[in-house]
Structure 1
């Protein structure tokens, strides 16, 4: 690693630590030439991920859109931002683990719905009402009945 001070190419690692919940490695280095210390960060290189919208348009995946949608669904619920962020991280990890460079928006929506179903029922229904664009009360009731059936199945396990 090139020293930012003297520009020599030789340095040694004196300390390594995990950062960002294990997504990054922080390394303290010391230049073998000038003796000054500096910090570097090692992260996994991510391939660009494209979202294929329902109308066929493509846009770059933005984790913040998922986070904002979940925050809105959890509005006025007793759920910490840390829990919401962790859920968003799980969703993003699942999307990226498909190893696909293009992911349909509908698949992202289904994944968010499945994660929210076990996370918070009220947030799930709120998200579903926007995502599925309930046309009337009967479609809303169908979703509630499906959620109730899922809850009973989980209880029987």
Structure 2
């Protein structure tokens, strides 16, 4: 580095330390020609990232605006602030790795949606409803179907087979009762005194064969 006092191009570094903000390195140099010392700062060269809007307007990428969008999407969700800062840093690093310095807003939105999909499903649907400007219910349903499809829900396992029961012979039918041969009833007859039936116990019936005579007066 050229000496600001004598214009000599050779020097040596006698001290190096970082700045308080951490965005530069302070180097203390000594000229080899005149022996005087001077200070130089080494900073990282940053090219601005421009976000191209849908209407063609261009504006500089704002990390604070990205952080506000992530915070609004994850409002009242169990997502710690440190995790949101990590996601915002990852998105900014991916933008820095792109060869083009002008990035469409659609591409930035897709990066944010991919990060929220793995972070919180409700935050993903919130951001998608604003970013994609859902007009009606079918658009919202398609977003939910895409989220459920990416989750890769596994099908429920089939129910276990029922235990096999040993085969047993059916119970035997009860044997029918034996047939009893009925004896024919004896023929009824009124002949003879043996077949007369007494009307009262101890009183013999009268003989029908002997006619009764009336007593004459």
The two structures have a TM-score, normalised by structure 2, of 0.55
The residue that corresponds to 1:93 in the other structure is 93
8 A Cα contact 2:50 2:101, kept in partner: yes
User: Can you list the C-alpha shifts for 1:62-91, whole angstroms capped at 9, x where unaligned?
Assistant: 111211111000000111111001000000
The aligned counterpart of 1:148 is 148
By how many angstroms is 1:45 displaced? 2.1
CA contact (8 A) 1:25 1:41 kept: no
Task: Indicate the structure with greater helix content.
Answer: 1
Aligned to 2:14: 12
Take 2:42 and 2:61, find their aligned partners in 1: how far apart are those partners?
A: 22
Give the direction of change, closer, same or farther, for the CA distance of 1:12–1:61 in structure 2 (3 Å limit).
same
Give the root-mean-square deviation of aligned CA atoms.
3.2
Give the number of the structure with larger relative contact order, counting CA–CA contacts within 8 Å between residues 6 or more apart: 1
From the two aligned structures, give the one with the greater strand fraction: 1
Which runs of no fewer than 5 residues in structure 1 stay unpaired? 1-8, 34-39
| Number of aligned residue pairs | 141
Q: Tell me the distance in 2 between the aligned counterparts of 1:25 and 1:55.
A: 35
Q: 1:98 to 1:31 in 2, by over 3 A?
A: closer
Equivalent-residue separation in structure 2 for 1:30 and 1:59 (angstroms): 38
SS of residue matched to 1:134: coil
1:8-157 counterparts in 2 under 5 A? 12-13=14-15, 24=22, 43-152=43-152
Q: Structure 2: where are the runs of 5+ without partners? A: 1-10, 156-217
- Conserved? CA contact 2:53–2:105, under 8 Å: yes
Residue 43 of structure 1, CA deviation = 5.0
Q: Tell me if the contact between 2:26 and 2:42 (Cα under 8 Å) persists in the aligned partners.
A: no
Q: Could you say what secondary structure the match of 1:12 adopts?
A: strand
